[in-house]
Amino acid sequence: MILITTAGKVGSEAARLLAQRGASVRVLARDPEKATALRQVGVDVVEGDLDAPATIDAAMQDVTSVVLVSPAIPAQELNVVDSAARAGVAHVVKITSKAPADSPIARQRGQARIEAGLIASGLGYTLLRNNFYMQNFLMLAPAIAKTNSFGSSAGAGQVGLIDTRDVAAVAAEIAASPAAHVGKTYVLTGPELLSYADVAAVLSQVLGRPIVFSERTIEEDKQAMMSVGVPEPIAAMNAHAVSLIAEGDAAWLSEDVPAILGRPARTFEQFATDHAAAFS
């Protein structure tokens, strides 16, 4: 049995892919109602909370592999690591990001703590160190649909954007057959470096109408995120992370997705085409 710790973007798609290939897969969800579609494709959806170790222990029954993905609050993910160790789980695939222990971004420092805890646990592990997600642009989609424009403090900085469906596909592949991946760290990116102006050009071409990118300040970015419901401290942290793109912080690419999946990573054009309705 493979346990996926949340039913968000990466977790849901990884669960769907594993069920599709006939693997036994379980997802822990705070609200199982939200994961009804997964139940319909054969995923065992169990109610639980990463803040409640007893619920994690219950979900860990008969589990051999874990995909550890969540908002990456260290206490919660370390609860999963402890539970996996108690249950004698063989392998954990950890979804992470660029995570220097001295990063100015609290989430990245938290990821570093989680990675260290996982490595120290003695469990088999694989780290998936992911660049920014294409799906972050879905947060901007309602504004793009309305105004044909979007702004960011990323400036002219480039990003190796990755589609969360590819992150999920890599996580599913490794969770199903961990042997060749134990102790490894993979860097997951899309196939190309794009600036936000490049993103606007791709959206314009795919949507068939001009989409304009404008530079804005970190504070304006934070306010825009709060206006779509992101809590203030998270919006501040995310806006800071986006502003570092202007300094080249996300300008990295890797061939790990095609190497593991045997097919190219999705392009931003593919992402935009698949989600065109959200931007229209």
Residues at the site binding ligand NAP, with contacts judged by CB under 6 A? 6-11, 30-31, 34, 49-51, 69-72, 76, 95, 97, 107, 130, 132-133, 136, 164
Residue for token digits 């998270």? 234
- The nearer residue to ligand NAP, 197 or 230, going by C-beta atoms, is 230
CA distance 53 to 56: 5
Q: How far is CA 243 from the centre of its chain?
A: 19
Q: What are phi and psi of 26, to 5 degrees?
A: -125, 145
Q: How far is CA 124 from the centre of its chain?
A: 21
- Smallest separation (angstroms) from ligand NAP to the CB of 210: 26
CA distance 176 to 2: 8
- Smallest separation (angstroms) from ligand NAP to the CB of 131: 7
- Smallest separation (angstroms) from ligand NAP to the CB of 207: 22
- Smallest separation (angstroms) from ligand NAP to the CB of 92: 13
Angle (deg, nearest 10), helices 9-20 and 164-176: 50
- Smallest separation (angstroms) from ligand NAP to the CB of 226: 17
β-partners of residue 162 are 133
Chain length of the chain: 280
CA distance 44 to 51: 20
Q: What are phi and psi of 130, to 5 degrees?
A: -100, 145
- The nearer residue to ligand NAP, 148 or 251, going by C-beta atoms, is 251
Q: Pairing between strand 25-29 and 44-47?
A: parallel
Enumerate the H helices of 7-73 as residue ranges.
9-20, 36-40, 53-59
Q: Among all residues, whose Cβ is closest to ligand NAP? A: 8
Q: Pairing between strand 158-159 and 149-152?
A: unpaired
- Smallest separation (angstroms) from ligand NAP to the CB of 254: 13
- The nearer residue to ligand NAP, 101 or 210, going by C-beta atoms, is 101
- The nearer residue to ligand NAP, 53 or 205, going by C-beta atoms, is 53
- The nearer residue to ligand NAP, 114 or 123, going by C-beta atoms, is 114
- The nearer residue to ligand NAP, 82 or 205, going by C-beta atoms, is 82
- The nearer residue to ligand NAP, 132 or 271, going by C-beta atoms, is 132
- Smallest separation (angstroms) from ligand NAP to the CB of 35: 8
